[in-house]
Amino acid sequence: MDVLVVANLRSGSVDAGLLEFVRHMLDAGANVTVRFAAQHAPAESLLADAGTFDRVVAAGGDGTASSVLYALRDSGIPVAFFPAGTANLYARNLGLPKDPQALAELALEGQPSRYDLGELVVGGSSRGFFVIAGAGFDAQIMSGAEPLKPTIGEGAYILAALQSAKSWPSTLILTLDGRKVVTEGSTVLLVNLARIQFDLSVVHESDATDGVFEVVVMKTRTLADLVPAIWAALLDRVASYPDRPGFEVHTAHEVEVIAEPPLPVQHDGEVDASTPLQARVLPGAALVVAPDRHSRV
């Protein structure tokens, strides 16, 4: 089997774990090519000949996984993963193992399944996301956490949230599959996979194979306002608790978000634009190598 590994230098993926992962694939008889993505060589630029490989491995965080999946959308090329970012939300949602040997075995032997991708159009250009895109408070947290992640890891999100403890709501004009909804909120989330930092679930149910987003409007203005929703997410671990107090939830295949005042936008942790935005689901566009095909909540 010929395997292409695209590793993101910025995600800290060049470590002993990645080397062990590659070694296990070599020991299993695979031919492995490793290419390193960086600011001057993004992941997409390293995939021009991806069709000559049997499988591609995205080694990095959520942004790396999304960029590889989006670049290979609808190509029929299976994509496996080596989680090496800060949050690795895709790994939590897919139930990926943590051990490099188990990851190598999965990458070579796992059966690929079709998953939906999100496509975001903002500022005149498009980009993909696999887990969550959002506008508002969550993008502020992502932006604030970025310089802190190399030193304190996932704790950077807590510190960034505390530094941005209060957010001001915007008037939101949402167009959901042609239906207009006018509401107010501090954040809009487009959810493909529901589990976020600290293994909390944004919504009770989310299926990345159903062809729609869960569109979540957060009404909360402060961290204290979020406590009931966080408590509900914690209860979901031991019992069914569908309510998310302070959240307004819709579903849609195509979404437009206009905010006044405008809100910053993030897609799988990458913050590089602001509203307005358009988004759509690309049904089954990602061929993903995961333990099994299932939805995670």
**With 70 as the cut, is the pLDDT of residue 54 above it?**
yes
**With 70 as the cut, is the pLDDT of residue 147 above it?**
no
**With 50 as the cut, is the pLDDT of residue 87 above it?**
yes
Residue intervals in the chain for CATH 2.60.200.40: 120-283
**With 70 as the cut, is the pLDDT of residue 111 above it?**
yes
DSSP string, 240-252: -----TTEEEEEE
- Could you say which architecture CATH assigns to the domain 2-111? 3-Layer(aba) Sandwich (3.40)
Residue 110, pLDDT score: 97
Residue intervals in the chain for CATH 3.40.50.10330: 2-111
Residue 153, pLDDT score: 57
Confidence bin at 196 (pLDDT 50/70/90): confident
**Cα separations (Å) of 283 from 25, 55, 76, 98?**
31, 21, 13, 28
Cα–Cα distance measured from residue 83 to residue 91, given in angstroms and rounded to the nearest whole number: 7
Confidence bin at 236 (pLDDT 50/70/90): low
**With 60 as the cut, is the pLDDT of residue 104 above it?**
yes
CATH for 120-283, among 3.40.190.80, 2.60.200.40, 3.40.50.2000, 3.40.50.300? 2.60.200.40
Residue 178 CB contacts under 8 Å (≥ 6 apart), including other chains: 254
Hey, what amino acid is at 110? G
Strands 247-252 and 213-218: antiparallel
**With 60 as the cut, is the pLDDT of residue 156 above it?**
no
Residue 145, pLDDT score: 55
**With 70 as the cut, is the pLDDT of residue 240 above it?**
no
Confidence bin at 297 (pLDDT 50/70/90): very low
Q: Please measure the distance between the N-terminal and C-terminal CA atoms of the chain and give it in whole angstroms.
A: 33
**With 90 as the cut, is the pLDDT of residue 161 above it?**
no
Confidence bin at 36 (pLDDT 50/70/90): very high
Lowest mean pLDDT among 172-186, 202-216, 280-294: 202-216
What is the percentage of the chain residues whose pLDDT exceeds 70? Answer: 74
Residue 206, pLDDT score: 74
**With 80 as the cut, is the pLDDT of residue 179 above it?**
yes
**Cα separations (Å) of 214 from 11, 109, 153, 204, 291?**
28, 32, 28, 10, 24
Neighbours of 143 (CB within 10 A): 17
Residue 146, pLDDT score: 62
Residue 231, pLDDT score: 38
Residue 280 β-bridge partners: 119, 254
Most trustworthy range by pLDDT among 3-12, 180-189, 239-248: 180-189
Kind plus residue range of the DSSP H or E element containing 28: none
Q: What is the mean pLDDT of residues 266-279?
A: 92
Residue 198, pLDDT score: 52
Confidence bin at 167 (pLDDT 50/70/90): low
Higher pLDDT, 20 or 143: 20
**With 70 as the cut, is the pLDDT of residue 200 above it?**
no
Residue 144, pLDDT score: 57
